[in-house]
Amino acid sequence: MLTLIDERNKKYVVDGKKDFHTDLGVIKAEDIQNSKPGSIIKTHLGHEMKVIKANVNDYIDVMERRCTIILPKDIGIVITYTGIGCGDKVVEAGTGAGATTLRFSRVLGNEGKIYTYEKRKEFYEIAKRNIEKFGVKNVVMRYRDIRDGIIESDVDLVFLDMPDPWNVVEHAYEALKYGGWFVSYSPYVEQMKKTRKKCEEFNFSEIFTYECLLREMEIKNDAVRPKTRMIGHTAYITFARKVP
């Protein structure tokens, strides 16, 4: 899978299985197949496109979606603070468009596995197409309401992006291995408070909540300052660890 960047710096992710059509012209499938990172491809109208290898971020930027996705700033601290890595087992709900699923998949590697639960048929089908198109092999999709229970056991992380994560805390505690992490992503304070209280009831340890804010720097020849606009509040991210 490759990323094409046109003269407007617009990105397209292609697999070379069919001709690629844009408003700047058509690129034949065989030209895509014969290219490699660093190549320049021309459309039939003569417009040039640079070729780079598509990574997961490129793909997520352009993949099909009908819902909001968790931003890198938030999923990054989940990966960092839980310490998950190659060979681990993760349970996730809900799948949505599959963006977080793909990010976890890359971190876990071929030796790991992510089981992702989605109860809404429309989102399940979209995520299934997105995940299959990107070609990862360590994802198991479940068309199932995680509130009805978690099938897996001995799990390293249970990650929830859903309106009522407190209703899954008991299932998560049973599914997690000792030392495993429960993490919930909640936009509202009330959700976060109820989830934390439930974690306390089940004797989770190391319970803490973070909000991650991200602001880019504005750099000019004669002045440097933080940008006036920033990615502010998205969610409260609550962590809890199963420790006997």
What tens digit of pLDDT does each residue of 26-70 get? 999 999 999 999 999 999 999 999 999 999 999 999 999 989 999
Q: How far apart, in whole angstroms, are the C-alpha atoms of residue 134 and residue 62?
A: 12
Whether residue 132 is annotated as binding a ligand: the answer is: no
Please write the tens of the pLDDT for every residue from 53-64: 999 999 999 999
Is pLDDT above 90 for 239?
yes
Please write the tens of the pLDDT for every residue from 69-120: 999 999 999 999 999 999 999 999 999 999 999 999 999 999 999 999 999 9
Sign of dihedral through CA atoms 140, 145, 150, 151? Answer: negative
pLDDT at 91: 98
Is pLDDT above 90 for 244?
no
Q: What are φ and ψ of residue 44, in 5° steps?
A: -70, -10
Whether residue 145 is annotated as binding a ligand: the answer is: yes
Token pair listed for 101:
């699923």
Token pair listed for 103:
């990010």
Specify whether the CB–CB gap between 93 and 115 falls below 8 A: no
Task: Show the domains of the chain with their CATH numbers.
Answer: 2-54 (3.10.330.20), 64-241 (3.40.50.150)
Pairing mode, if any, of strands 11-14 and 236-241? unpaired
Is pLDDT above 90 for 8?
yes
Could you tell me the maximum CA-CA distance found in the chain, to the nearest angstrom? 66
Whether residue 61 is annotated as binding a ligand: the answer is: no
